[in-house]
């Protein structure tokens, strides 16, 4: 509009007026561009020609950018509603909001009601989804389409979680599809038996595979008074490795805390402004490999880095307010847990885990290195058994497995000891189908990185593809497509 005003206010106006009268006198046979062409030919100001030739294009662009601005405004409003709704659900469901660092103005103004407002929460989620779907359908701006579709997927999870909170359940697969956007593959007992046979062939001693694994693992339990220095050393190394590939915000930092009486073994609480609180549960014995896991999974390049990249690139740089809320039971968790698990291999590829454990962590913990190569080999095979926990969760949620059967399954196929199996059942009871995010999520992330040229032979490409993935709104469906 500014461009047209400047033309109409110029000395050129009289000629333009003549032409406009001409257009009206001969009807609509002349288009606007034809009209301007006539104006140009009659013009006594040739220097204006360039500007006028561009005028129709600029006019269209100007209208387009006005429409885009309106659409962005509308999308930002919907994003604010999305955050408000998530925070309102979090007033009731204490596990729903994992992190929020957005403006206080989006926090609920009222105290939580006595009764859980299931119906009104579901209605709000539906209304928002409809608005976002229609925007996604009509927009011509790629980033707006991505945002709208991403929020729709997240909202579908909000609705499912609201129903779960109201004790309205579906099957394990239906639940994981709605909450995390995917259905994890099912593996039968034979699949796990082959990994157990593999372990049988490498573990020292004779007899029950789990007992032999526990005996080996116990050599690498970190003494309680050494936990903090060992964890800090592992995190420092993971941070150094990550920083050699990514430029992290200058003020980023984390605090490490040892806690007890939790259903999980470690947790990253992202506080915003590039700060994380990392908690390690010391209820059970903590083995040396867990230090590397905490170093990478909870912090670098895992949860801490993922949250920072989203905050920096999308929330601060692009103003996408929806990212300031991290709802735990949502597709975002598939990306978060999958990338955090994949990040361990990224930061400590190949034999690096063993090398670093031998040269730094075991001496710090005052433990001997004998048997550590076999231990890490066994852990790699045990990693494949991670899918067995999904089957225990599937059985418990679909009520096809009793608690007792699930415990013996976890001990047999996940090589858990009594205390970790009990803890795992507590975890499944609380987080339900969330367990698929760790293994299936990791496989999907790995496959995405490989599809983008990142392999063990091309480590830089691996870091690049991974960093890109952590800096965007990615839907699980798009990852399944690339697999």
Query: Of the two residues 212 and 303, which places its CB atom closer to Zn ion in the complex?
Result: 303
| Residues 82-103: b if buried by 16+ CB within 10 A, e if exposed | bbbbbbbbbbbbeebbbbbbbe
Kindly indicate which of the ranges 192-200, 273-281, 309-317, 329-337 contains the residues binding Zn ion, using the contact rule CB under 5 A.
329-337
Least distance from Zn ion to the Cβ atom of residue 305, Å: 12
Task: Give the range of 54-62, 87-95, 111-119, 334-342 binding Zn ion by CB under 5 A.
Answer: 334-342
Closest CB to Zn ion among residues 75, 301: 301
The C-alpha atoms of residue 339 and residue 389 are separated, in whole angstroms, by: 19
| Choice between 213 and 434, CB closer to Zn ion | 434
Residues 6+ apart with CB under 8 A from 164: 175, 329, 432
Comparison of 165 and 270: residue with beta carbon closer to Zn ion: 270
Interface region with Zn ion, contact rule CB under 5 A, candidates 32-40, 138-146, 336-344, 412-420: 336-344
- In the complex, the smallest distance separating the C-beta of residue 162 from Zn ion, rounded to whole angstroms, is 23
3-class DSSP assignment, residue 254: strand
Nearer to Zn ion, 147 or 297 (CB): 297
Stretch that binds Zn ion, among 20-28, 41-49, 225-233, 337-345 (CB under 5 A): 337-345
Which span sits near Zn ion by CB under 5 A: 31-39, 47-55, 86-94, 339-347? 339-347
- Cβ proximity to Zn ion: between 337 and 391 the closer is 337
SS3 136: helix
| DSSP assigned state of 358 | I
Contact assessment for residue 2 and residue 26, using Cβ atoms and an 8 Å cutoff:
no
Closer of 195 and 437 to Zn ion (Cβ): 437
Q: DSSP letter string over 416-458?
A: --HHHHHHHHHHHHHHGGGGHHHHHHHHHHHHHHHHTT--TT-
Q: Are 316 and 330 in contact (CB under 8 A)?
A: no
DSSP letters, 13-64, are HHHHHHHHHHHHHTGGGS-HHHHHHHHHHH-S-GGGHHHHHHHHHHHHHHHH
d(CA 425, CA 438): 16
**Residue nearer to Zn ion on the CB measure, 88 or 332:** 332
Stretch of residues binding Zn ion (CB under 5 A), selected from 30-38, 47-55, 110-118, 330-338: 330-338
Q: Which is nearer to Zn ion, 131 or 337 (CB)?
A: 337
The Cα 480–Cα 483 span in angstroms is: 5
Smallest gap from residue 61 Cβ to Zn ion (A): 46
Distance in Å, CB of 125 to Zn ion, minimum = 25
Cα-based distances in Å from 471 to 78, 153, 154, 162 = 21, 18, 17, 28
Strand partners, 326: 99
- Using CB under 5 A as the criterion, what x/- string covers residues 117-156 for binding Zn ion? ----------------------------------------
Site for Zn ion in 256-275 (CB under 5 A): none
Q: What is the DSSP letter of 287?
A: B
Name which of residues 357 to 416 contact Zn ion (CB under 5 A): none
Pairing between β-strand 266-272 and β-strand 275-281 as defined by DSSP bridges: antiparallel
Whether residue 301 is preceded by a cis peptide bond, meaning omega within 30 degrees of 0, is yes
Instruction: Give kind and range of the element (H or E) at residue 131.
Output: helix 118-138
- Quote the least distance from Cβ 302 to Zn ion, whole Å: 7
- Give the shortest CB-263-to-Zn ion separation in angstroms: 13
Quote the least distance from Cβ 191 to Zn ion, whole Å: 24
List, in order, residues 6 or more apart from 309 with CB less than 8 Å away. Answer: 246, 467, 470, 471
Residues that contact Zn ion, how many (by CB under 5 A): 2
Report, in Å, the least distance between residue 298 CB and Zn ion: 6
Q: Which stretch binds Zn ion (CB under 5 A): 340-348, 361-369, 370-378, 449-457?
A: 340-348
User: 340 or 425, CB closer to Zn ion?
Assistant: 340
Nearer to Zn ion, 303 or 411 (CB): 303
Site residues (CB under 5 A) for Zn ion, limited to 230-249: none
Nearest-5° Cα angle at 407, 409 to 202 = 50
Q: How far is the CB of 399 from Zn ion (least distance, A)?
A: 27
Q: How far is the CB of 269 from Zn ion (least distance, A)?
A: 11
Strand partners, 270: 276
Between the alpha carbon of residue 468 and those of residues 152, 212, 440, 464, the distances in Å are: 22, 42, 20, 6
Query: Residue 306 CB, nearest distance to Zn ion (Å)?
Result: 10
Q: Of the listed pieces 161-169, 254-262, 338-346, 415-423, which binds Zn ion according to CB under 5 A?
A: 338-346
- Residues lying near Zn ion in the complex (CB under 5 A) are found at 337, 340
């Amino acid at each position: 509009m500014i461009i047209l005003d400047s033309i109409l206010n110029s000395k050129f106006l009289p000629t333009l007026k003549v032409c406009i009268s001409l257009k009206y006198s001969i009807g609509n046979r002349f288009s606007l561009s034809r009209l301007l062409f006539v104006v140009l030919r009659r013009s006594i100001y040739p220097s204006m020609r360039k500007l006028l030739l561009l005028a129709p294009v600029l006019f269209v662009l100007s209208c387009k950018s006005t429409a885009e601005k309106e659409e962005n405004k509308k999308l930002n409003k919907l994003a604010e509603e999305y955050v408000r709704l998530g925070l309102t659900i979090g007033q009731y469901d204490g596990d729903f909001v994992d992190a929020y660092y957005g403006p206080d103005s989006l926090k609920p103004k009222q105290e939580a009601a006595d009764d859980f407002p299931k119906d009104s929460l579901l209605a709000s989620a539906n209304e928002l989804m409809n608005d976002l779907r229609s925007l996604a359908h009509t927009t011509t701006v790629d980033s707006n389409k991505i945002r709208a579709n991403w929020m729709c997927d997240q909202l579908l999870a909000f609705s499912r979680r609201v129903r779960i909170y109201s004790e309205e359940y579906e099957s394990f697969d239906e639940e994981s599809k709605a909450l995390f956007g995917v259905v994890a593959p099912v593996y039968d007992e034979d699949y796990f038996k082959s990994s157990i046979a593999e372990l049988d062939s490498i573990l020292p001693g004779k007899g029950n595979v789990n007992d032999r694994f526990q005996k080996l693992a116990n050599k690498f339990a970190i003494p309680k008074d050494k936990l903090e220095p060992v964890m800090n050393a592992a995190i420092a190394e993971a941070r150094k490795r990550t920083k050699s590939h990514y430029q992290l915000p200058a003020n980023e930092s984390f605090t490490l805390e040892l806690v007890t009486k939790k259903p999980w073994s470690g947790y990253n609480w992202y506080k915003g402004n590039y700060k994380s609180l990392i908690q390690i549960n010391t209820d059970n014995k903590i083995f040396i490999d867990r230090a590397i896991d905490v170093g990478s999974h909870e912090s670098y390049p895992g949860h801490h880095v993922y949250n920072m990249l989203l905050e920096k690139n999308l929330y601060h740089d692009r103003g996408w307010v929806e990212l300031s809320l991290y709802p735990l039971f949502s597709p975002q968790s598939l990306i978060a847990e999958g990338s955090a698990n994949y990040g361990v291999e990224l930061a400590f590829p190949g034999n690096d885990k063993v090398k670093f454990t031998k040269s730094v962590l075991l001496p710090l913990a005052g433990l001997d290195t004998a048997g550590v190569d076999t231990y890490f080999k066994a852990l790699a095979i045990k990693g494949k058994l991670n899918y067995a926990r999904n089957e225990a969760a599937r059985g418990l949620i679909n009520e096809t497995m009793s608690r007792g059967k699930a415990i013996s399954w976890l001990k047999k196929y996940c090589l858990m000891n009594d205390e970790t199996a009990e803890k795992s059942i507590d975890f499944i009871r609380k987080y339900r189908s969330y367990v698929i995010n760790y293994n299936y999520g990791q496989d999907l992330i790995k496959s995405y990185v490989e599809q983008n040229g990142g392999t063990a032979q091309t480590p830089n490409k691996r870091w690049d593809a991974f960093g890109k993935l952590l800096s965007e709104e990615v839907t699980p469906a798009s990852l399944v497509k690339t697999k």
